Structure 1
Amino acid sequence: MIRSATLPRPAVEKGTSAEMLFHLGMMYRLGREVERNYVTAHKWFNIAALKGSHEARRCRCEISREMTAPEIAEAQRQARDWISLH
């Protein structure tokens, strides 16, 4: 099980598709192969949504209902940081 809140850089780089980012979000949402983490799931859904994934938008909305405002703010900050680096 990967315990880190993010995957190693080679696993997720600039050219990563919205579909791949959506699948990362699902991994963290469901706790598959990684520890369940809604903040990280929201981050990946947010990035995938920015790349055009409608499914990621839907999942981001759903998961937001189970998160606190500070958790959502942290997920958004992490997404902005990732985007600025990639």
Structure 2
Amino acid sequence: MSWYRRAAEAGIAPAQYNLGSMHLKGQGVPQHYTTAAKWYQRAANANHASAQFNLGLMYDKGLGVPQDDNAAFRWIRRAARAGVVEAQYELGMMFRNSNSHDVPEIATNAFRWFRRAAAQGHVDSQHNLGFLYSNGKGVPQDFITAHMWYSLAASKGNDLAAEDRAIIASQMSPAEIERAQARAAQCLASDYQDCGG
């Protein structure tokens, strides 16, 4: 602990992040959200992407800092832009759950962030892409592509995706289901890079 603290106080961002995580979880130190937020803030200011994400979540929930939707959004967006897959998913959820969810640009942003996370194998993002395609939110309605994303998420144990896939499959022809299955296999074989949607 003393080495982490020394390194953190010397301005080493990974040590600041680790010290923040220790205080957040109460690992080796008493759990203290305000102290966790302080160390995450320092690391986040030094462009530590995971610290930016965790700080954003703390602002979102009001843990150790005042609850602030704008600060949460800003920090989570910075982490998402830096490639943190969980931040990309969380940002997609922020857009999807926005009070302005019927505004096309909002749904398009949800799609964009879910797609980035899905390309890294994020199961819940794959499920959400299926939802967006099946409902025509941010993208044209496309049951074949929705079925593909639901299948990919279901293959990793997402039971809700399996249920949603069954619902849209009841509205599809056998040929459409076969095309969706072929696209899912192609997407998986390409490590989520050639998914056609």
Measured against the shorter chain, the TM-score band is 0.7 to 0.9
Counterpart position of 1:82: 187
Cα distance between partner residues in 2 of 1:17 and 1:51: 10
Is the Cα–Cα contact under 8 Å of residues 17 and 51 in structure 1 kept in the other structure?
no
Identity %: 28
Q: Does 1:30 align with 2:30?
A: no
Correspondent of 1:57 among 162, 177, 192? 162
Amino acid at match of 2:182: R
**More helix, by proportion:** 2
Counterpart position of 2:148: 43
Q: Does 1:72 align with 2:146?
A: no
Cα distance between partner residues in 2 of 1:46 and 1:61: 10
Per-residue deviation, 1:19: 0.6
Cα distance between partner residues in 1 of 2:189 and 2:121: 15
Q: Does the residue aligned with 2:147 lie in a helix, a strand or coil?
A: helix
RMSD of aligned Cα (Å):
1.5
Per-residue deviation, 1:18: 1.2
Task: With the length of structure 1 as denominator, give the TM-score of the two structures.
Answer: 0.84
Q: Does the residue aligned with 1:16 lie in a helix, a strand or coil?
A: coil
Structure 2 unaligned blocks of 5 or more: 1-103, 105-111, 192-197
Per-residue deviation, 1:16: 2.5
Task: With the length of structure 2 as denominator, give the TM-score of the two structures.
Answer: 0.38
From the CA coordinates, give the structure whose radius of gyration is larger.
2
